[in-house]
Structure 1
């Protein structure tokens, strides 16, 4: 018989995966799936952004509750929760930009403010916003809410850069993907050179992967006349879902440790 000598901090952090190259591959696939899946529900099924957001909000709350109650890192549960944040982030951003008529710049400004407020309240309540600080259910809720706002901001940024309506900058989906991809390369270079806070760089990378996925998702399912490939949103979502399932099953993932720098 062995004694479990894990501290409460190790116990909580063990439900979050290590930040490896495979983590970011799955994350980008999840963000792309969030874009195509969210658009399929709101546009293809014609449910609208408000109803779509309500549906995904319920899924998000249920999965986060399950994630918090889990006794250890469970890859499929973790990534299902990430997908829930990407789909809800997609529909929330679209609701703000389109249904409320805020336009892309207005949506970006509001969601950026919500993300900053989430980080500020988390820091005020817990004294830290690093992944290592996620050691209690309260901190886990802050973690997932902050992730949700980061995903929503990423969607709004992707639409703002790529779109040519509602105040968009009109770079198009391919150029938008290149812009955000270049941003990720810069963040990675700063991370490996250790010239900035790794916590700040983590959140920067987490935000940037979302618009990269959003522009890739739009590129897949938008009409050819709008610069897309015109793949069915349902088929694109199913392909991405299959890719994610295979990736989660085959890519080695281990629970992060509290001593791991993030």
Structure 2
């Protein structure tokens, strides 16, 4: 693609993004993973809430992006901090559409796809290039960061939609984006358009990194490694810090010359058309795979992340009716286990052991999620009633400033329903 020279009144800088080496993709995936897990930790574990977390990270994004935009060259620490924050922010925007506004994931995917295509169209019409080797003016950098924000939102919607369609666990779900990224790499080496290859791979790293984060963070009962979202955040933040320090010292990913270009495999119009055809065929095959998986009996892997499903028949239950139905339809052994955990947590709260209470109540969350598949079909209304009460208990205990009165009230109400 041709490069249009900046006019004298446009702020001209050294290239503001790193060279696309293996380090670029490693740290990009690390940033995506820590963005997912860190947002979950603040939103759910600390009890800040989805909307408040989104407002917080939007403000942080404005600040770090302002610092990044004022720099005149690529600075690894500032650039990758911006990527981490934009990863969290884009993810939260999609989560708000899904969990707060109730927008179906296929609609979110469509909306963000159209928005990204429009962004690229306007960017190219104005700058005549979409290459990241030319981010050397304020205008191009603004287009670049807006496109990055949309790719994270799109990647979140697409990845969650895939999990919703297939019901795949976190480990298995890693394979699809990883395989597609490997295919894009092979096609790039075979002469595919480098700009198209870059942005397709960039979008695919979002669901890959998020699935890795889920795999590390989820308990073993849910096919995860059981490290937890906070532990996962610390591991990947440490890896990001080590990588950024190395890149700051080695300057292995610095493009000093605006006109500099990285290695581009030999290509031709025939090769580009052929590789584009392979990409299209891979897209069709992926759609076919998802359609087949959706037709198989499964439970959505996102069932535990969203709001409790509603029941189509019957009036909403009051507590007396819910208590009666729980006793009649749910196994007494399971209900006794839940009561024991809640009672233990009450004792810990009463003794001012908030940390112990938070740890113990996680056992209730894990046990309840593990039993959802067997309990919900027995009595959907009773399950939904108890699920809402458990959410209230988790929110009160995980609040940043816990109120013992609110905690005890939520746990007492749950114990009453559990008999």
- Is 1:247 aligned to 2:243, yes or no? yes
Identify which of 227, 232, 254 aligns with 1:231: 227
Measure the CA separation in 2 of the matches of 1:56 and 1:117.
25
Measure the CA separation in 2 of the matches of 1:200 and 1:81.
23
Measure the CA separation in 2 of the matches of 1:11 and 1:96.
38
> Which has the larger displacement, 249-258 or 231-240?
249-258
Q: 1:197 to 1:12 in 2, by over 3 A?
A: farther
Measure the CA separation in 2 of the matches of 1:49 and 1:12.
37
Whether the 8 Å CA contact 1:162–1:175 is kept in 2: the answer is no
Q: 1:110 to 1:49 in 2, by over 3 A?
A: farther
Q: Kindly report structure 1 stretches of 4+ aligned residues shifted beyond 4 Å.
A: 7-11
Whether the 8 Å CA contact 1:162–1:215 is kept in 2: the answer is no
Whether the 8 Å CA contact 1:49–1:92 is kept in 2: the answer is no
Whether the 8 Å CA contact 1:93–1:155 is kept in 2: the answer is yes
Q: State the partner residue of 1:178.
A: 175
Measure the CA separation in 2 of the matches of 1:116 and 1:13.
27
User: How many residues align structurally?
Assistant: 251
Measure the CA separation in 1 of the matches of 2:208 and 2:110.
19
Measure the CA separation in 2 of the matches of 1:170 and 1:34.
23
Q: 1:230 to 1:95 in 2, by over 3 A?
A: farther
Identify which of 189, 206, 209 aligns with 1:192: 189
Q: What TM-score, normalized by structure 1, do the two folds share? A: 0.88
Measure the CA separation in 1 of the matches of 2:133 and 2:186.
22
Whether the 8 Å CA contact 2:130–2:195 is kept in 1: the answer is yes
Whether the 8 Å CA contact 2:123–2:129 is kept in 1: the answer is yes
Structure with more relative contact order (C-alpha pairs < 8 Å, separation 6 or more) = 1
Q: Report the structure number with the largest CA radius of gyration.
A: 2
Identify which of 213, 218, 222 aligns with 2:214: 218
CA displacement at 1:13 relative to structure 2: 4.5
Whether the 8 Å CA contact 1:15–1:255 is kept in 2: the answer is no
Q: What TM-score, normalized by structure 2, do the two folds share? A: 0.56
User: RMSD across aligned C-alpha pairs, in angstroms?
Assistant: 2.2
The unaligned stretches of length 5 or more in structure 2 are 1-6, 265-419
Q: 1:114 to 1:13 in 2, by over 3 A?
A: farther
Report the 3-state secondary structure (helix = DSSP H, G, I; strand = E; otherwise coil) of the residue aligned with 2:166.
Answer: coil
